[in-house]
């Protein structure tokens, strides 16, 4: 598959692009079944809702996701980390031949999977999940430039009730001041200059197999899950091959996976 010029323009303008019914339903069901088994047994490494709420920006930057806190059995799992190496089905989706040329078009060069970031099964558990506040993913990452894109796969329906993604279109191209963010670098909702931007937010209900591509500097958020059913999604991040991680940071602490291409864009 290749994107049209219109789709590429949409991504450049808005910072995100929806690809409806991109992944096969059978693959989505298999991924979800495996993820549910890992979640049931809290197979490490994981991040809990408790960790997400209390961690400072510095702590999140240093977290390598290699350990499980002793209290993990008593709290809700927010995400399964390091999924590339968990199961071959996860790996096959991240390296799927259909997505490679799309990512190459978006990035303008060969895509490389960054094992250090995202690389996760994201959850919104009923009754215990928390909201995901407005943020830019790039705030915790350390690369030479911002040519990074995340690939979000809906494994089932996602909507305003169970925590669908919301975006502020075009925010990946905007310049912000430190005063617009809190100490954890979440975008403040009560600052006057932020309110108009937040009012421009958009979201699109997702169905099983839908994929959303979004830029690493795009402001996004999600509500907590207000239903009785877990919401489980798959997200990973790719960078342009020429965009190198800064040495000595979490971004350089893991291997990277170049994706083969028959032809470059």
**Ordered structural domains, the chain, with CATH:** 5-258 (2.60.120.620)
Q: What is the pLDDT of residue 222?
A: 96
Query: E strands within 89-131?
Result: 111-114, 120-124
Distance CA 156, CA 141 (A): 29
Going by their DSSP bridges, the two strands 148-154 and 231-240 should be labelled as: antiparallel
Closest CA to 35 of 212, 221, 222, 231: 231
Query: What is the maximum span of the chain, computed from C-alpha positions, in angstroms?
Result: 50
Average pLDDT per consecutive 10 residues, the chain (265 residues; last block may be shorter): 96 98 98 96 90 59 48 71 97 97 97 96 92 94 97 97 97 96 94 95 97 98 95 98 96 95 63
Residue 37: helix, strand or coil by DSSP? Answer: helix
Q: What is the pLDDT of residue 58?
A: 56
Helix (H), strand (E) at residue 10: helix 5-14
Helix (H), strand (E) at residue 156: none
Please state whether the peptide bond connecting residue 57 to the residue before it is cis, i.e. omega within 30 degrees of 0: no
Closest CA to 125 of 67, 49, 31, 47: 49
Q: What is the pLDDT of residue 33?
A: 97
pTM, two decimals, is 0.91
The residue assigned the tokens 């008593």 is: 74
Q: What is the pLDDT of residue 72?
A: 44
Considering only CA atoms, give the Rg of the chain: 17
Distance CA 235, CA 213 (A): 10
At 169, list the tokens: 């279109």
Strand partners, 245: 143
DSSP letters for 184-202:
T-PBPSSSHHHHHHHHT-E
CB neighbour list of residue 203: distance below 8 Å, 6 or more residues apart: 160, 164, 165, 166, 167
């Amino acid at each position: 598959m290749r994107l049209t010029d219109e789709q590429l323009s949409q991504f450049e303008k808005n910072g995100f692009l929806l690809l409806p019914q991109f992944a096969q339903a059978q693959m989505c069901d298999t991924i979800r079944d495996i993820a549910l088994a890992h979640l049931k047994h809290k197979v490490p490494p994981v991040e809990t809702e408790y960790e997400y709420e209390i961690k400072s920006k510095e702590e999140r930057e240093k977290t390598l996701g290699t350990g499980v806190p002793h209290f993990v059995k008593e709290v809700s799992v927010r995400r399964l980390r390091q999924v590339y190496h968990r199961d071959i089905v996860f790996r096959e989706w991240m390296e799927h031949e259909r997505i490679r040329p799309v990512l190459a078009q978006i990035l303008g060069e060969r895509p490389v999977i960054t094992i250090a970031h995202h690389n996760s099964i994201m959850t919104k558990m009923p009754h215990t999940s928390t909201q995901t506040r407005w943020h830019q993913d790039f705030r915790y990452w350390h690369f030479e430039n911002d040519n990074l894109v995340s690939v979000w796969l809906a494994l089932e329906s996602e909507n305003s009730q169970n925590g669908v993604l919301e975006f502020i279109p075009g925010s990946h191209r905007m310049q912000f001041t430190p005063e617009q963010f809190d100490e954890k670098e979440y975008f403040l909702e009560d600052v006057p200059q932020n309110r108009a931007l937040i009012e421009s937010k958009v979201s699109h209900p997702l169905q099983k197999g839908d994929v959303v591509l979004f830029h690493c500097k795009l402001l996004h958020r999600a509500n907590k899950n207000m239903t009785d059913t877990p919401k489980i999604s798959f997200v990973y991040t790719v960078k342009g091959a020429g965009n190198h991680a800064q040495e000595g940071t979490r971004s350089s602490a893991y291997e990277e996976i170049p994706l083969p291409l028959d032809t470059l864009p």
